[in-house]
């Protein structure tokens, strides 16, 4: 049997207070190529994350111990932009889904669900997380009609001319580039991109995104690189070519 410390499979934490469902999910994920762990509430999740950081967390919405899935999703996202978060709950309420995405979840699935659907969603979120890792590994990222250099902190059009960037604009573009194909909420962006130049009011991110689109998009009126995610925030979509 492979020693736990040498197991290189992606680590998934299942947060579910019902023991049978938790154990069933852990066994199913383990049988499908993942290293899964189960915890029943927030306190145990925090301890496990510190000890063994996950690639993805399956997070039940209603939990004992005073913390719900929304609070834990927010904590996980503040800790890491790359960890995948999938809300797993009995609630199919649209409001819950929107709030879950706004607190940092990548996807949402309601009980009862088909195990194969859950597995497909897990794989999709992990693929996006892998894309984020790949983006941070390269010092230059193609965004629309431009190339962002993360080392020199410069932006150039593909035609060669330099495009001026304020410090706060660079930090926001960098954050988007490091999280491709992931919806990032306005609140999280505002909290994460901390700079003296960043205006602290509700629509500050919207104004900054508008300015960036004018610089990087081929057609700012029809953005394809920095897209709006209705009810959530914004997403950087890398070019196909």
Q: Where are the domains of the chain?
A: 4-133, 138-236
Residue recorded with tokens 């998009």: 217
Q: What is the pLDDT of residue 197?
A: 43
Instruction: Tell me how far the alpha carbon of residue 59 is from its chain's centroid.
Output: 14
Q: How confident is the model at residue 223 (pLDDT cuts 50, 70, 90)?
A: very high
| pLDDT at 24 > cutoff 90 | yes
- Judged against a pLDDT cut of 80, whether residue 73 lies above it is answered with yes
CATH number, domain 4-133 = 3.40.50.2300
> Between the ranges 2-11, 106-115, 188-197, where is the mean pLDDT highest?
106-115
Percent of the chain's residues with pLDDT above 90 = 32
Supply the pLDDT for residue 195. 42
Instruction: Categorize the per-residue pLDDT at 135 as very low, low, confident or very high, splitting at 50, 70 and 90.
Output: very low
Given a cut of 90, is residue 159 above it in pLDDT? no
Q: What is the dihedral sign for C-alpha 182, 185, 188, 193? A: positive
Q: Is the pLDDT of residue 200 over 60?
A: no
CATH topology of domain 138-236: Arc Repressor Mutant, subunit A (1.10.10)
Q: How far apart are CA 163 and CA 186, in angstroms?
A: 25
Distance between CA atoms of 196 and 200, rounded to whole angstroms? 9
């Amino acid at each position: 049997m492979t020693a736990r410390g040498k197991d290189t499979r992606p680590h998934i934490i299942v947060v579910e207070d019902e023991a049978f469902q938790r154990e069933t999910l852990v066994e199913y994920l383990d049988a499908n190529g993942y290293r899964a762990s189960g915890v029943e509430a927030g306190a145990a999740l925090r301890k496990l994350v510190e000890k063994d950081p996950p690639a993805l967390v399956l997070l039940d919405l209603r939990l004992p111990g005073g913390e719900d899935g929304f609070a834990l999703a927010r904590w996980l996202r503040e800790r890491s932009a790359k960890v995948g978060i999938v809300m797993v709950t009995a609630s199919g309420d649209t409001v819950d889904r929107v709030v879950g995405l706004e607190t940092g979840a990548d996807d949402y699935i309601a009980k009862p669900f088909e195990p194969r659907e859950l597995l497909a969603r897990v794989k999709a979120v992990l693929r996006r997380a892998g894309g984020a890792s790949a983006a941070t590994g390269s010092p230059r990222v193609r965004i629309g009609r431009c190339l962002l250099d993360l080392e020199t902190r410069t932006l150039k059009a593909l035609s060669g001319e330099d495009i001026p960037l304020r410090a706060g604009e660079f930090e926001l573009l960098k954050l988007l580039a490091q999280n491709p194909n992931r919806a990032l909420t306005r609140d999280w962006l505002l909290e994460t991109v901390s700079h003296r130049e960043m205006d602290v009011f509700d629509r500050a991110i919207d104004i900054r995104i508008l300015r960036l689109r004018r610089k990087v998009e081929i057609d700012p009126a029809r953005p394809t690189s920095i897209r709006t995610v209705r009810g959530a925030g914004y997403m950087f979509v890398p070019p196909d070519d």
